Structure 1
Amino acid sequence: MKYTRKLLFVLCPMLVLVFIYFSSRKLHLHVWGPKSQLESEASISVGQVVGAVYDQQGFLLKLDGKLPMELVYKYGNLSSGTCKPGYAAAKMTAIYPKFVKPAPMFLDQNFKRLAKVFNYLPPFGFKTQEKTIDTILTATKNYGLGPELDSLSCKRCIIVGNGGILANKSLGSHIDEYDIVVRLNEAPVSGYTKDVGTKTTMRITYPEGAIQKPERYEKDSLFIFSAFKPLDFKWLKHVIFRERLGTEGFWKSVAHYVPREPSEMRILNPYFIQEAAFQFIGLPLNNGLMGKGNIPTLGTVAITMALHNCDEVAVAGFGYDMNTPHAPLHYYEKVKMSAIRESWTHNILKEKEFLQKLVKARVITDLTKGI
């Protein structure tokens, strides 16, 4: 009996050690991959111990411009300059497995079915604004880019930012070669065509950013509305129906007239603001409300939209260089780079980290190399 007890005293610690050894080995082999959200979050700490594959947002840590093996066969033999169908989404999925391409560019009459934005207030959704949106959509009646562009089997898009880095680059003719040219807010074309081109497919803006002088609008571009607060939807409704609108609630003066027919106006899907902020950049959720430092810039929102709806995506005029505070912030005015430091809503550094991932992995092409 005494011999049996002694044997147990010796064996028990050994069994415990063996169990710990094999358990720890199993844990060390467990690396975060494209699983369910709960599984992914639970395994992050373990992945960090042995060398994580993905960063906190879900992007590959080791990024390069090489095509994954599964994409080499599809795109590797295409001649230079040929539009690559599905390329941006395929590259994005390769570095960010959680990416899901289907996401309509604009709200249409079925917008209430968009579950991802249904329960969020503006700017991350349309909660409380359903009735106003219904009224607007009955007037606009169109929800696409137009028959010619919608029918393209492969779309090459460029987002033209407003950065001072665009000046003196002579990229105008190159920009005009893209199928879809996206411009932002009040950035002018006239007088700057050598650097920014002449073509405008759509101009994305919000009330305070919209062009206020009717003569400065292009003749044939779509007016794309992006809401950042509930009052913005009211502004669009008044503009479409040519109603009088007060200025209370806006942080600066707004346009009272937009020289566009309702059929030339669209509402940008607010999902792109939500996805850019919380999934891609990692800005604070703040209970789903707009707060300090949790709103992406309109440029990044436009890039997010393009990743879902364009086959190839390029950008120009992007990049804030905080090391040159006296450089021009925009290509069309004398405001200095230092002004962006005062931004209450944006987190420029975190946003730049996200855009650098896209450029490094060649998900997007940066023509001005400012990112």
Structure 2
Amino acid sequence: MRAMKPTRNLMLVLCPTLVLGFLYYSSGRLHLQVWGQKSQVDADNSVFVGHVAVYDKQGFLLKLDVKLPLELQYKYGNLSKGECRPGYSEAKMTSIYPKFARPAPMFLDPNFKRLSKIGSFSPPFGIKTQEKIIDIILAETKNYGLGPELDSLSCKRCIIVGNGGILSNKSLGSKIDEYDVVVRLNEAPVSGFEKDVGSKTTMRITYPEGAIQKIERYEKSSLFVISAFKPPDIKWFRQMVFKERLRGTEGFWKSVARSVPREPEHMRILNPFFIQEAAFRFIGLPHNNGLMGRGNIPTLGTVAITMALHNCDEVAVAGFGYDMSTPHAPLHYYEKLRMSAIKESWTHNIAKEKEFLRKLVMAGVIHDLTNGI
């Protein structure tokens, strides 16, 4: 019996060491967060080790539960049907992505240099090297929000309207117009398509190559918002704000608008933090030392959704999603291009982006009116 004692002591030391080593290795690979005990593997491959919530490498919960915690169920359960739910998207987002922090201004204002997260990066992920020209632009626009009426709302319902052909013949126009903030992208037209896409436009987010070129196609009133992906975009925007003759078109991959029929007070610069966060934190695109590179730029639609998550209480989308299994389906709702026209993008990673958006839909963070994601 005495001969066995050293062996038993050795086992008492080795077993806890092996267990701790396994847990350390697993936590590094699976991102574990303890909240109880008991082990199980669910049908959707989400793992709970001793009621340990498992997150993917981006920090999203693998088991996407659409249910809110009981206290939030009670909070929102007492609201009337259809009433705006304050903080709803934030609550849902935080439940699947605990690292989410809501405060992030929609547009740049004169205090933009205080935003440390964008100060270290050049466009598209920040404002480095562009500070002086941004100061000049903001001094001219003088306005940095959505406008007094919308800024004063205690609860905002926002919808991002994509340009997908999936919007055709859905008759969602009146539903889209019910939202407080309607965001449209690039040159997607409204006139003639109101039945499917609505007639209301709060803001149109674009970049030089995507901006409407025919002045008569602009809405009578909306905010013109630049999302700058490269330094020439800021230079172009300055000329649009000051109504200057367009000089120098180097650095653009196709023709750009030569004028924008908006007064400076109706023009904004989108906070580039949303491009940075969507790319590196939400989707997990290559960092490339903070420079634009192959497959590390999110699409404008995902950037707009990221913006809405930080600034809206409820977020919906419509017109998102490309179904490559239907090559003859319309690519956009406003033209005859077919799905087969999509080529592999040098700048975007559509597959990884769709994976991120699907997480948001599955968890109820955003509502997809056209069920394309």
Give me the TM-score of the superposition, normalised by structure 2: 0.91
1:342 to 341, 344, 350: 344
* Corresponding residue number in structure 2 for 1:117: 118
User: Counterpart amino acid of 1:18?
Assistant: L
Question: 1:336 Cα deviation (Å)?
Answer: 1.9
- Write the distance in 1 (CA, Å) between the matches of 2:10 and 2:82: 63
Aligned to 1:296: 298
Secondary structure, in 3 states, of the residue corresponding to 1:223?
strand
Aligned partners of 1:334, 1:362: CA distance in 2, in Å? 33
Asked if the contact 1:31/1:46 (under 8 Å) is kept, the reply is no
Deviates more, 1:123-132 or 1:240-249: 240-249
Q: 1:257 and 1:354 mapped to 2: Cα distance? A: 35
Structure 2 residue 204 is the aligned partner of structure 1 residue 203: yes
In 2, Cα distance between the equivalents of 1:42 and 1:134? 44
**Offset at residue 57 of structure 1 (A):** 0.8
CA distance in 2, matches of 1:303, 1:297: 10
The equivalent residue for 1:257 is: 259
Residues 177-224 of structure 1: CA distance to partner in whole angstroms, max 9, x if unpaired? Answer: 000000000000001000000000000000000000111000110001
> Residue 21 in 1 paired to residue 3 in 2?
no
- Counterpart-to-counterpart distance in 2, 1:16 and 1:204: 66
Name the structure 2 match of 1:144.
Answer: 145
Q: Which residue of structure 2 aligns with residue 37 of structure 1?
A: none
Report 1:212-361 matches (<5 A). Answer: 212-244=213-245, 245-361=247-363
Alpha-carbon distance between aligned partners in 2 of 1:156 and 1:52, rounded to the nearest angstrom? 31
Q: Does 2:356 align with 1:362?
A: no
Q: Cα distance, 1:77 vs. partner?
A: 2.3
Match of 2:62 in 1: 61
Q: Is the 8 A contact 2:161 2:318 kept in 1?
A: yes
Partner secondary structure for residue 165 of structure 1: helix
* Cα distance, 1:10 vs structure 2: 4.8
Aligned mates of 1:236, 1:344 — CA distance in 2: 24
Measure the CA separation in 2 of the matches of 1:337 and 1:282: 26
> 340-349 or 184-193, which moves further after superposition?
340-349
Q: What code does the residue aligned with 2:136 have?
A: T
Distance verdict in 2 for CA 1:117–1:76, change over 3 Å: same
State the Cα RMSD in Å: 2.1
- How far off its partner does 1:49 sit? 10
Q: Cα gap change, 1:124/1:14 in structure 2, threshold over 3 Å: closer, same or farther? A: same
Q: Name the SS of the counterpart of 1:341 in structure 2.
A: coil
Shift of 1:43: 6.9
Percent of counterpart pairs with the same letter? 73
* Amino acid across the alignment from 1:168: N
Aligned residue for 1:122, secondary structure, equals: coil
C-alpha displacement at 1:11, in angstroms?
A: 4.0
Instruction: Flag the 1:339–1:13 CA change in 2: closer, same or farther, 3 A.
Output: farther
Shift of 1:241: 1.4
Q: Does the 8 Å contact 1:28/1:46 carry over to 2?
A: no
**How far is the alpha carbon of 1:68 from its aligned partner?**
1.9
CA distance in 2, matches of 1:320, 1:44: 31
The change in CA–CA distance for 1:12 and 1:90 in structure 2 (over 3 A counts) is: same
8 Å CA contact 2:32–2:55 kept in 1: the answer is no
Q: Could you tell me which residue of structure 1 aligns to residue 179 of structure 2?
A: 178
Show the counterpart of 2:43. none
What CA deviation, in whole Å up to 9, does each residue of 1:245-301 have, x standing for no partner? 222210000001000000000000000000001111111111111111111110000
Residues 63-86 of structure 1 deviation map (CA, whole Å, 9 limit, x = unaligned): 132122231121122221010001
How many Å separate the matches in 2 of 1:45 and 1:152?
Answer: 38
Structure 1 unaligned blocks of 5 or more: 1-5, 33-39
How many angstroms does 1:26 deviate by? 4.2
Residue 14 of structure 1: how far off its partner (Å): 2.9
CA distance in 2, matches of 1:12, 1:125: 62
Alignment partners' CA distance in 1, 2:170 and 2:30? 46
CA gap of 1:237–1:46, structure 2 versus 1, over 3 A, is closer
Give the unaligned 5+ runs of structure 2: 35-46
Q: Distance in 1 between matches of 2:314 and 2:306?
A: 12
Deviation of 1:326 (Å): 2.2
Following TM superposition, by how much is the alpha carbon of 1:13 offset from its aligned partner in structure 2, in angstroms?
Answer: 3.8
Deviation sequence 1:83-125 (CA, Å, 0-9, x none): 0001111110011000000000000000001011100110000
- Deviation of the 1:339 alpha carbon: 2.9
Q: Distance in 2 between matches of 1:46 and 1:150?
A: 37
Residue deviations 1:4-34 (CA, integer Å, cap 9, x gap):
xx96x754443232112123334566798xx
Shifted more, 23-32 versus 88-97: the winner is 23-32
What is the aligned length?
358
* Contact residue 53 and residue 60 of structure 1 kept, 8 A: yes
- Provide the C-alpha distance between the structure 2 equivalents of 1:336 and 1:56, rounded to a whole number of angstroms: 35
Residue in 2 that maps onto 1:36: none
